[in-house]
Amino acid sequence: MSTTIPIRRLGGDGPLASVLSLGSWHTYDRMDFGDAVAMLRKAVDLGINLFDVGVYSMPGYPPVFTDVLFSAMVRAAGIKRDEYLLSTKLWLDGYPERPLRAQLENALFRVGADRADVAVLGDIRSDRVNLQRLALDLAALEADGLIGWWGVNNWSTSTILEIRRHAHSGGSPGPQFAQLKYSPCRRTIADGEPFAELWELGIGLQASDVMEGGILAGRLTPTRPIGRDPGDVRSKIMESAEGIARVAADLGATPARLCVAFCLTHPAIASVLFGVTKEEQLLDNVVALELVEKVGAERIRELLDPFWADRDAVDPEGP
């Protein structure tokens, strides 16, 4: 494969990261270990250097080991620590009683690393989160070398701007990117005017849930957990899957490749995050870069506009 994966900054002051990044939510623990190692090695050889590896095991649910397996995969694939960027999740449910430092130390222990290059703060589900304290806690983790940079997952623009002010007051560069649900069907937030202000400030977009848990790739009955459904539009997204597949076929592409290509057309895109369980899926997603070159960003967005499911269904300001 001759496709070159671009490297760009993950936000205005963030690290140099591949524009395609590999997620691990319920993926590696569903794979044959040898296949997972080979896929990881292939991803690095292709130029992917950003890996989102969070702790997804929750009390009361079956244990998950995808992050622990990643540690073994890296060793088996012969990948050196300076060859990739480790991105981990920090959850705000129960914060501050559940301290960020303790979470991070546990995450690093499970993944076999001494630092996270990037930390992503999970959804804010409570108005009791003290953003000034949160900014100070993050600055302390930065100062101690436990994290390099950080971003946020599905936050509102006003909340991002507020914690950015607190971070700057404490001498921290603040959030580098917003990880948002983004796909041909979920566009309202990332494409809206409120978030355009953040893109102008240099905050990058990391697209996630780009295939709606596999639905847009043709798996209409997913066998793994799917993220929440802002706007209650998942049924409309399932109805759109067939139409998106037809557009993809007309372009000589798979639906998954077209979804990744769509995300790459956003002017603020810093990284498109996806999960795969087969090497052929990885290779197909990488070819999305060629699809954008061949068809053009404007044409791709035009062809997929009829499948915009969350138009007028969610607040463009964000959660």
Q: Cα–Cα–Cα angle for 8, 13, 18, nearest 5°?
A: 20
Report the amino acid identity of residue 238.
M
What are the DSSP calls for 78-100, one per residue? T--GGGSEEEEEE--TTTTTS-H
pLDDT tier, 118 (very low <50, low <70, confident <90, very high otherwise):
very high
What would the pLDDT profile of 238-248 be if each residue is shown by its tens digit?
999 999 999 99
| 3-12, 54-63, 292-301: range with lowest mean pLDDT | 54-63
What would the pLDDT profile of 179-232 be if each residue is shown by its tens digit?
999 999 999 999 999 999 999 999 999 999 999 989 999 887 766 667 889 999
- Sorted by sequence, the CB contacts under 8 Å of residue 207 that are 6+ apart come out as 180, 182, 183, 190, 263, 266, 269, 271, 272, 273
**180, 213, 215, 186: which is closest to 309 by C-alpha?**
186
Query: What average pLDDT score do residues 290-295 get?
Result: 97
Q: Are strands 7-9 and 16-18 parallel, antiparallel or unpaired?
A: antiparallel
Kindly state the tokens that stand for 117. 């290059």
Of all residues in the chain, what percent carry a pLDDT higher than 90? 86
Global pTM?
Answer: 0.94
The pLDDT, as a whole number, for residue 228 is: 87
User: Which neighbouring-strand residues pair with 205?
Assistant: 178, 269
What would the pLDDT profile of 252-261 be if each residue is shown by its tens digit?
999 999 999 9
- 222, 216 in Cβ contact below 8 A? no
Three state DSSP letters for 95-109: CCCCCHHHHHHHHHH
**230, 13, 18: which is closest to 125 by C-alpha?**
230
The pLDDT, as a whole number, for residue 26 is: 82
- DSSP-derived 3-state class of residue 226: coil
Query: What average pLDDT score do residues 100-113 get?
Result: 95
Q: Cα separations (Å) of 200 from 164, 168, 171, 194?
A: 14, 17, 21, 11
Tell me the pLDDT of the chain averaged across its residues.
Answer: 94
- 181, 154 in Cβ contact below 8 A? yes
Q: Cα–Cα–Cα angle for 26, 9, 311, nearest 5°?
A: 60
Q: Cα separations (Å) of 274 from 67, 138, 214, 282?
A: 15, 26, 10, 9
pLDDT tier, 60 (very low <50, low <70, confident <90, very high otherwise):
confident
- Sorted by sequence, the CB contacts under 8 Å of residue 315 that are 6+ apart come out as 189
Element (H, E) at 118: strand 116-121
Q: Decide if pLDDT at 249 tops 90.
A: yes
Domains and CATH numbers, the chain: 7-307 (3.20.20.100)
